[in-house]
Amino acid sequence: MLTGSMVALVTPFRKGRVDEKALRGLIEFQIQGGTSAIVPCGTTGESATLSHSEHNRVIELTVKAVRGRVPVIAGTGSNSTAEAIALTRHAKKVRADGALLICPYYNRPTQEGLYRHFKAIAKAVDLPLVLYNIPSRTGRLIEVDTLARLSEHDSIVAVKDAVENVEFTSQTVSRVPGLPVYSGQDSHTWPMMAVGAVGVVSVISHLAGRMVAAMVEAALAGNMSEARRLHHELLPLCEACFLETNPTPVKGAMNRLWEPVGDVRLPLVAASEETLIAVEKAVGAIQGL
């Protein structure tokens, strides 16, 4: 079972194209910072505006750059089952260690439709699959009963929970004990781990990776007082990084504080100066801790 702090990797762009050099550098930076896994082509990676060829290229480059040092969990979800299967097959072909599958969006399937969607992917591709529950983005919740049915498939190994409801997390942990839960919302990581989550797929790890990893490690070790302390230290950064649509604040801050990762793609627009000042202030407050 994979545990720890995993980074939801941004996709660097330069002059409208994927910046492959910056991507390699970012991956190296994250590995040296102690990430437990690299998760490319998710929400933070702007998968919605990547072409299929770009999407596949980013995953292939990530696997090659990581060189087996940590797992690569490739974002391969779609609201089209056939498209999700194709993307997941490619991830397996280039030797990703697993796939992250977002709940289908826009077409609003029933719970039976969700079950059949994920089941079809699990049957089509022999690869560990992490479900991604984020109703604020998709307009659909994978309910606990559906998660329980899906957990019966050997290749469905975990769920990334961005439901932003700790009671829902508690129900998932208690009613589906064989399905590990990862936080998908940085500000909720410690509260979710307090009720049984085993890690986070983090956005703020781009800016405070070692500290996020330390918080998760403390919680996994049962040192909840230390995890709680780190949670409160990180909370202003969590809040600042989500003042505008993810990943605009974190990409803007990285351009100033790390190395250029480029702009977000339309219809997203660059973060405001006010937001970037808030992120920089939050980063400055935790440096050296």
Instruction: Give the residue numbers annotated as catalytic, written as ranges.
Output: 132, 160
How many Cβ atoms from other residues are within 10 Å of residue 40's Cβ?
32
Cis before 247? omega within 30: yes
Decide: helix, strand or coil at residue 125: coil
Give burial (CB, 10 Å; 0-12/13-18/19+) of 75.
Answer: buried
Please tell me the distance from the alpha carbon of residue 287 to that of residue 289, in angstroms, as a whole number: 6
Please tell me the distance from the alpha carbon of residue 274 to that of residue 152, in angstroms, as a whole number: 47
Q: Quick one: tokens of 270? A: 């660059």
Please tell me the distance from the alpha carbon of residue 247 to that of residue 43, in angstroms, as a whole number: 8
